[in-house]
Structure 1
């Protein structure tokens, strides 16, 4: 009797297994499409916050609930004019300013300012000898259009970003990203394991005031 019940349970498990596998696959697919997605870093534009071949996890839901914040690292669908390779669609950069912000380079200490507040940027790329990238090697003064983002790489001298586009075109719309182009927020480096870290917002952005109301 016990053997018969065991056999029934075993047969039931094997009959249900294909259904469980399909359900698990569908759940994983839904999570990937709508909630979380992994991205790998193909370039040096965010070094050394993100290095080539790092893998990050991106929250794809958060910006359905709110708009992007300054200091967050975002994945977005790049404008065609930003791409040196037409197949490179997904870009990853740091949000420096949001719609309505006034961004200037640079103050007397050669720091970016956002709405008059200087940014100390410890995440900027450093050479092995400790020499850091400049926030920008050329001056600019822009007001970010409403509903758009000013994004920059942490490795400024090797980043195709808002600054590079603006200095080339002097067009604030061409140099900024519309909110709907943002795929999601990168919030953790999960691979390689020795690089595992949370991608938090640097405290310097906490001191940036809101832009003046029009």
Structure 2
């Protein structure tokens, strides 16, 4: 039995392609793996607080020295971290906003950047501490963004690969639903749906 953390980051509801497809994947996953446990977090509609100076001081000081303000800063943050570390797999529905990820998802990921928990730093550089897990990112984009695209650059997938790699999670897969505005929207969605149905059985 595996524990899967399913996270949506879109600000939209039924009109969100990433949200609809991530739910379709989870529904298909349950058919193939009924014993697995799904945890769900909706960052688009229920965002986590941004970290601040107090939070930074708290995570870089011993618990016995924490002030009431530091304790409060970690009250939401620590459960997010423990939840992230406790599961086996991650499924993210992530729209592209301004060529990158939504601010709500960035805010969430900042809570997870914890020295000694998700990464460590030595003379050899940064080494991730979270191992044996994998992540699926279902992204939605208005266009297609190869390196020479005249419409802008993709700062979504490279960032997510980098931050999860810094945690030690290199087994990541992307299903990018592109050209939703600048191309054949229905074809893009249909191709993604077929890919996700196959992944639900074999991922």
Q: Same fold (TM over 0.5)?
A: no
Tell me which structure has the larger Cα radius of gyration.
Answer: 1
TM tier relative to shorter chain:
under 0.3
Query: Which has the larger strand fraction?
Result: 1
TM-score normalised by the chain length of structure 2 = 0.22
TM-score by length of 1: 0.21
